[in-house]
Structure formats: structure tokens, C-alpha cells
Amino acid sequence: MYFEYNPEANQDNGSCITLIVPGCLDIFAFNYNPNANFDDGSCEAAVYGCTDDNYIQFDASANVNTTCLYSGCINAEALNFNEQANLDDGSCIYSGCTGQ
């Protein structure tokens, strides 16, 4: 369907130019569609929180992941380095000489 559509027209005169692309036009919405040019009422509010249900901070109402805390060893030189961790829990293990 085009914005220029005329339900009374019975001959195409080439005036159909702008294709209607329905979607969410709110740039702050979770499902904003930059290609849309017709607001179809589908906008969903962005709810920030932890969207990973494996973590204690999990928020079932969140749709934008921002605050999951992954605890573990964050030192890349440690034997048990966890590349997913973003919160040092003091568990890093290092090998080397332990004698004085």
C-alpha cells in the first residue's frame, strides 16, 4: 500500500511513490524501526536490566541487557581466567614458585 493510494482510482497514473512501511517510530522504544514511515502502534518501552536468567540480577521484565554481573577471575594471566566475568571475585589462581 502506498501513501498516495486512492481507493476511487480505476487507472494507475504512476503517482504511487511512497510505500507504507509500518512499524515503531519512537527512537527510544525497544523495537524502533528506522525503516518505518507509518506508526502502527507497536512500540514497546525499553526496559533496562539483566536479561540473562542464569544470573541473580535477572529481570524478567527487561528487554535491553545492561546490568548482568558475571563474577569470576578477570585477570587474563590467571589459570582460571573467565572471559565472561566483569566482576572480580578474588578467585584467580596463579602458578609459579611458592617457596620463600
Q: What is the pLDDT of residues 13-65, one digit of tens each?
A: 999 999 999 999 999 999 999 999 999 999 999 999 999 988 878 999 999 98
Q: How far apart are CA 70 and CA 49, in angstroms?
A: 14
Instruction: Tell me what the mean pLDDT of segment 58-74 comes to.
Output: 90
Rounded to 5 degrees, φ, ψ at 39 are -75, 115
CB contact burial 10-35 (16+ within 10 A = b; e otherwise): eeeeeeeeeeeeebbbeeeeeeebee
Whole-Å CA distances, 40 to 5, 23, 68, 85: 18, 5, 32, 40
